[in-house]
């Protein structure tokens, strides 16, 4: 029976990588699953049968939707490696909030003008929310560990982006509270279309946006923030969920000739 795990947002492919002695010229397939929970058996079998992209399963069952694009994305950079992996980070979000509070800016608002609008102080004083995000960080750290292992990544290949999660009782499954910055679209010429996070607003400057720009602009990426709140975020999705892109592999490398 079809489930949310069968959605396209739960299917990611890494850029080309070499792991040990094995070269994956077309990258590796990554999707969220855990045991019996995940894409249908027929889909898993189909992906595995391709042979050359050796699928990786990571546990996303703690998410309300359960898609891998809620946790990671890959962006192109002009380096020998050719890419960075972005990963959602409640810890990065919390660090930004703690710094703002220590600078006397605890009254800045997050989610300004949206349902759930709160100040930095109110977020940090919500011990239940902070504990929940600590737990989600631990689960994301496990995903990070396995992807580093399976894709031969190191810390230099990874950029953490600030995202806060929450849940809607009685369910304890996580969904993005601030718009999920990893759920983006990479387009040509190193441009990224990224959801507007509605992070702490300091006189018109979104501190989460500034953090992302400080991380991505120096490595040659141009970021365009787009407000997808009413169209996708409130339905548990973001930019990546509402877009598609045509990709063109190297025409000189024939997938049917790979082993």
Active site residues: 241
CA gyration radius for the chain?
Answer: 18
For CA atoms 61, 36, 237, 13, the dihedral sign is positive
Per-residue tokens: 211 = 């953090």
If 0-12 CB within 10 Å is exposed, 13-18 middle and 19+ buried, where does residue 130 land?
A: middle
């Amino acid at each position: 029976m079809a489930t949310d795990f069968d959605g396209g947002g739960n299917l990611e492919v890494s850029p080309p990588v070499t792991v040990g002695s094995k070269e994956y010229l077309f990258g590796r397939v990554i999707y969220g699953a855990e045991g019996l929970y995940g894409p249908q058996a027929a889909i898993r079998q189909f992906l595995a049968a391709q042979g050359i992209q050796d699928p990786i399963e990571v546990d996303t069952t703690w998410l309300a939707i359960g898609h891998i694009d809620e946790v990671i994305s890959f962006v192109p950079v002009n380096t020998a490696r050719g890419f960075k992996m972005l990963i959602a980070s409640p810890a990065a979000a919390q660090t930004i909030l703690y710094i703002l509070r220590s600078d006397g800016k605890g009254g800045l608002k997050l989610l300004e003008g949206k349902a759930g609008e709160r100040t930095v102080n109110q977020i940090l004083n919500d011990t239940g929310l902070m504990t929940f995000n600590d737990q989600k960080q631990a689960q994301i750290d496990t995903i990070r560990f396995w992807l580093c292992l399976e894709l031969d990544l190191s810390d230099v290949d990874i950029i953490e982006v600030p995202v806060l999660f929450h849940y809607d009782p009685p369910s304890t499954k996580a969904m993005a509270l601030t718009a999920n910055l990893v759920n983006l679209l990479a387009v040509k010429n190193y441009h990224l279309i990224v959801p507007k996070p509605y992070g702490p607003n300091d006189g018109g400057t979104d501190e989460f946006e500034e953090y992302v720009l400080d991380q991505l602009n120096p490595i040659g990426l141009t970021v365009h923030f787009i407000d997808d709140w009413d169209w996708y975020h409130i339905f548990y999705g973001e930019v990546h969920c509402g877009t598609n892109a045509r990709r063109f592999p190297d025409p000189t490398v024939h997938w049917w000739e790979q082993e």
